[in-house]
Amino acid sequence: MLDIKDLRTNPDKYKEALSKRNTGYIQQIDELLSLDEQKRKYQTQTDELKSQRNSLSKSIKSKEEAEEIKTKVQEINKQIQELEEESEKISEQTDNISWYLPNIPFDDVPVGKDETENQEILKWGNIPEIKNPKAHDEIAVELNLWDQENTTRLVGTRFSSYLGYGAMLQRALISFMLEEAFNAGYFEISPPAIIHADILKGTGQLPKFAEDLYHLEDTEYYLIPTAEVPLTGFYAGDKILQEEEIPKRLCAYTPCFRKEAGAAGKDTRGLIRQHQFDKVELVHICQPEDSEAEHQKLVNQAENILQKLELPYRKLLLCTGDMGFSAHKCYDLEVWFPSQNTYREISSCSNCGDFQARRLNLKFKNKETGKNEFCHTLNGSGVAVGRCWAAVIENYLQEDGSVKIPKVLKKYMNGLNKI
């Protein structure tokens, strides 16, 4: 959520910044400021009427005056009620705008309309020479590592099951990623897979992306779309973090659930875009002045996983048109898929500034000022397990049709060298 006080003072800053995402936001900012001004006028009028009411109550000196003043107080109460009702209507209109306004991009974020205008920062690793590359789902079926046919009968399309050594490889990747996070100082949390709507609203998934979420009927609860939601919301609310408690670097393995309603017909084959998938998520909560440095640490941790797995990847700085709703700035890591002869996203690492913290009321006490201030939050996949599984299967394919096990995973797979 944007800082309404700063928005009042510097409207042009926000208009210029959000126009880099979409020029339609300029009109919404004007509407928001107009509503905010009207609401503050109502509040001033309400305060004045309450002051008049208090003065009248204190001025009573006789029974005759009391009856006269009672009539005046009743009229004032009626006016206050009308103003409060109007103010409540404006609050609803304000919410309908402010909850849908995205975060403003940092100045160094490239301006662009979509993914074609992202900036490539680096490429890492050697692309393997595979004479006859195959798609991961084809390899997995041949080696009995993965099932979609029976799973579709159980639950429908775009769900899948890992089988045998495929299930072991999935578990190995999760264990490896969590151990690497632990060694880097992350604190592991194993959160519920169900979350309250208020937390989804706080992290930015609601209300804008409701159609992509699995809602538990007749409740205010949803299946989590990513562990970013429970991790970021874990310390939110009335409790104020102490300065010495942050930065917090949190990690979690969870299944994730998304309808992908806005991506119908895209990547329906294999593990690239599933309704249920696994991730090891990384979340940082820090002071404002530390967020850029924490962003680099977050990205480095995700890169560390790909480097140790020796998977070729590239790092992109996302442009304004491709960046996530809650992000100030975002780097994507894309891993090489031989069957597609291209890189595909495997991790998005976002610095959200105080955007989510304002929506969640996530604060820390600044020792220097003695004031409670909003934290900065950051999140990223460390990394998406299913896509990593698919990348390993494709990049480690051997000429005889077997799949070599990456060195760092062997200890998690009982010393197995290949499948």
Q: How confident is the model over 277-327, as pLDDT tens digits?
A: 999 999 999 999 999 999 999 999 999 999 999 999 999 999 999 999 999
Residues 221 and 199: beta-carbon distance below 8 Å? no
Residue 304 CB partners (closer than 8 Å, separation 6+)? 180, 184
* Dihedral angle sign, alpha carbons of residues 314, 320, 323, 329: positive
Are domains 4-98 and 115-413 of this chain identical in fold? no
pLDDT at 264: 57
Q: pLDDT > 70: what percent of the chain? A: 97
pLDDT at 252: 98
Query: What is the rounded CA–CA span in Å between residue 152 and residue 175?
Result: 27
This prediction's pTM: 0.93
Q: What angle do the packed helices 25-58 and 63-98 form, to 10 degrees?
A: 170
Residues 412 and 175: beta-carbon distance below 8 Å? yes
pLDDT at 268: 62
Q: Which CATH number is 4-98 given? A: 1.10.287.40
Q: Is CATH 2.60.120.380 the right assignment for the domain spanning 115-413?
A: no
pLDDT at 262: 56
Query: What is the rounded CA–CA span in Å between residue 176 and residue 224?
Result: 23
Q: Which residue has the higher pLDDT, 266 or 320?
A: 320
Long-range contacts of 213-218 (CB under 8 A, 24+ apart): 213/257, 213/258, 213/259, 214/257, 214/258, 214/259
Write the pLDDT tens digit of every residue in 109-155. Answer: 999 999 999 999 999 999 999 999 999 999 999 999 999 889 999 99
The CA–CA distances, whole Å, from 352 to 85, 294, 324 equal 34, 11, 9
pLDDT at 191: 98
Write the pLDDT tens digit of every residue in 189-229. Answer: 999 999 999 999 999 999 999 999 999 999 999 999 999 99
Tokens standing for 397?
């394919």
Q: Is the pLDDT of residue 70 over 90?
A: no
Q: Is the pLDDT of residue 81 over 80?
A: yes
The full DSSP string for 222-282 is EE-S-THHHHHHTT-SSPPEEGGG-SEEEEEEEEEE---GGGTTSS-STTSS-SEEEEEEE
What average pLDDT score do residues 18-22 get? 95
| Residue spans per domain, the chain | 4-98, 115-413
Q: How confident is the model at residue 261 (pLDDT cuts 50, 70, 90)?
A: low
Q: Is the pLDDT of residue 363 over 70?
A: yes
Write the pLDDT tens digit of every residue in 5-14. Answer: 999 999 999 9
Q: Is 371 exposed, middle or buried (0-12, 13-18, 19+ CB in 10 A)?
A: exposed
% helix, strand, coil for the chain, step of 5: 45, 20, 35
Q: Is the pLDDT of residue 263 over 70?
A: no
Q: Is the pLDDT of residue 265 over 80?
A: no
